[in-house]
Amino acid sequence: MKITKVETIPFGVPIKQFADAYSSFNRSNAVLVKIFSDDGTVGIGEACAWEPEFYGETLESVSSSIQKYIAPRIVGQNPLDINRIMSIVDSTLARITCAKEGVDLALFDLAGKILNVPVYVLLNGCFRDRIPIACEIGIDTPEVMARSANDLLNMGISVIKIKGSDNVDEDIRRVKAVREGVGSKVKLRLDPNAHWYTHESIRVMRELEECNLEYLEQPVHGLDLHGMTKIRESINIPLMADESIWTPEDVLELARCGAADIINIKIAKTCGLLLAKKVEATAEAAGLRCVVGTEIEPGFSLAAKLHLAASMKNLPFACEFTEVSLLQDSILRPKIEITDGYIKVPEGVGLGFDVDEEALMRCRFDL
C-alpha cells in the first residue's frame, strides 16, 4: 500500500468576532489536507493557519510547505507507517508545526479508514465516550464579557475561560464582572496569553482570590520558566503551561523547574496527534495533569481533539472547544452537537466525519 497524492485546500470559516492578547479576528483559517492511497482511500486532515502572530505560519506558507516540500517526500510511503512518515517530515522541515499537523491528522484518518477503526483505537484506545467541554470568552469590556459568559451558560457550557490582556487592572475588572454575572458554581479559568509579568501575575491573583478560579494559564512569556516557577510558588490555584509547551522535552524542563501543575496540549503546537500522545505520556510520567486546548479549530482538527481527549487516561478538567460557540458555518458532516456540556466522541472509522462539500466551497480560498 502506498501514498499516491497529497492535496491542499485553503479555507476559512466565519466566526463571531473574537479577541485574545495576540490579535482580533472574525474567521478561523485552515488548510484542508487530503492524502490519497493506491487502494482509493482518502485521509483528511486540517492545518491551523489563523494566527500567524503566534505560529508564524499562514495559509500560503502551510499550503506551499506541504505541496513543495512534504508531499514529494511522502508519496510512495506506506500510509500506515505514521511514525516513520512524520520522521521524514521532521527531517524535511524544522520547527514549523501547523503544516505538520495537517499531514499528521490526514495520516491518522487514512490509517483508521484502511484498518476500519476510529482514530482513538490508533491512540491506544478509548477511556470515555463523551468529552466535557469548556469555552473561552474573548477580550472586551467587563460588561460585554459578562454577557458572553451567560450566553455560554445558555448553551449548556458551565466551564469558561476568560481571556486576559496586557492591561492587568482591566483584566481584574473583567474577571470580577464575569464571576458576578455567572454566580459561584460556574468554573472560571483565566488566560492572559503570556502578556503579563511575574510581579503583576502574583498581584492579580491575590486580588482575584475571592473569584475562586479553577486555574491560571501561562501569564508570562513561554521561555520565562523562572517567572512561572515564582508565580506557581506564590499563588493558591494551579498554574497551567501553554506557550511553554511544544515538545516532550519542554515538559521535562518544566517539571524540572517546578514551573507548572497542568499542561495544555494543543495539536497545532504538537504537529498533530503523534507528538501530542508523547507530550501526554511525558507529562504523566512527570506527575503533571493535561488538558486538550483550543486553537478555534474549524473542522477536522476539532474532530481530532475529540479522539485525543477520548484516549487520555487522566482527564481531570473539561477540554477546550471554544470553536463550537464561535463558528458560523461547518465543513463537517455530521455537525458537532453539544449535550449537557459534553460532545460525543465519534464512533465512525478514521476521524469519524466527512467533508460537507457545499460548505467547503463557501469557505475555500484561491491563493
pLDDT value at residue 42: 98
Q: Is it the case that residue 96 has pLDDT exceeding 90?
A: yes
pLDDT digits (tens, 9 = 90+) for 332-358: 999 999 999 999 999 999 999 999 999
For the question of residue 185 being annotated catalytic, the response is: no
In 10 A of CB 170, how many CB atoms? 14
Report residue 62: phi and psi, to 5°.
-65, -50
Percent of the chain with pLDDT over 90: 98
Q: Once rounded to an integer, what is the mean pLDDT over residues 76-89? A: 98
Q: CATH classification of 3-117, choosing from 1.10.3470.10, 3.40.50.1100, 3.30.390.10, 1.10.540.10? A: 3.30.390.10
**What one-character-per-residue DSSP string does 34-56 give?**
EEEETTS-EEEEEEE-S-HHHH-
Mean pLDDT over each residue of the chain, to the nearest integer: 97
pLDDT value at residue 295: 95
SS3 assignment, position 8: strand
pLDDT digits (tens, 9 = 90+) for 104-151: 999 999 999 999 999 999 999 999 999 999 999 999 999 999 999 999
Distance CA 284, CA 305 (A): 18
How many Cα atoms are found within 13 Å in the side-chain-facing hemisphere of 22?
14
- The domain locations on the chain are 3-117, 121-355
User: By C-alpha distance, which of 143, 158, 102 is closest to 325?
Assistant: 158
Q: Is it the case that residue 50 has pLDDT exceeding 90?
A: no
Q: Are the C-beta atoms of residues 350 and 138 closer than 8 Å to each other?
A: no
pLDDT digits (tens, 9 = 90+) for 204-224: 999 999 999 999 999 999 999
Strand partners, 44: 34
pLDDT value at residue 151: 97
pLDDT digits (tens, 9 = 90+) for 280-337: 999 999 999 999 999 999 999 999 999 999 999 999 999 999 999 999 999 999 999 9
- Sheet containing strand 3-19, edge to edge, reads 3-19, 24-37, 42-48
Report residue 191: phi and psi, to 5°.
-135, 100
pLDDT value at residue 51: 85
Please report the beta strands in 164-204, taking only residues with DSSP state E, as ranges in sequence order: 187-191
Question: Does the N-terminal peptide bond of residue 334 adopt cis geometry, omega within 30 degrees of 0?
Answer: yes
Q: Once rounded to an integer, what is the mean pLDDT over residues 226-230? A: 98
Residues 6+ apart with CB under 8 A from 207: 172
Longest dimension (CA), the chain: 61
Q: Band the pLDDT of 39: cuts 50, 70, 90.
A: very high
User: By C-alpha distance, which of 107, 49, 56 is closest to 77?
Assistant: 107
Is domain 121-355 in CATH 3.20.20.120, yes or no? Answer: yes
Q: What angle do CA 240, 93, 363 make, to 5 degrees?
A: 75
For the question of residue 5 being annotated catalytic, the response is: no
Distance CA 291, CA 172 (A): 24
Q: Are the C-beta atoms of residues 109 and 351 closer than 8 Å to each other?
A: yes
Q: Is it the case that residue 366 has pLDDT exceeding 90?
A: no
Q: Is it the case that residue 367 has pLDDT exceeding 80?
A: no
Residues 6+ apart with CB under 8 A from 119: 108, 109, 111, 112, 273, 304, 307, 350, 351, 352
User: By C-alpha distance, which of 26, 76, 68 is closest to 328?
Assistant: 26
Q: Once rounded to an integer, what is the mean pLDDT over residues 226-240? A: 98
The catalytic residue among 34, 100, 161, 163 is 163
SS3 assignment, position 268: coil
Supply the pTM of this predicted model.
0.96
Q: What angle do CA 334, 336, 110 make, to 5 degrees?
A: 60
Q: Once rounded to an integer, what is the mean pLDDT over residues 30-37? A: 98
Q: What angle do CA 80, 321, 100 make, to 5 degrees?
A: 35
Q: Is it the case that residue 87 has pLDDT exceeding 80?
A: yes
The catalytic residue among 113, 161, 266, 277 is 266
Q: Is it the case that residue 3 has pLDDT exceeding 90?
A: yes
Distance CA 249, CA 227 (A): 19
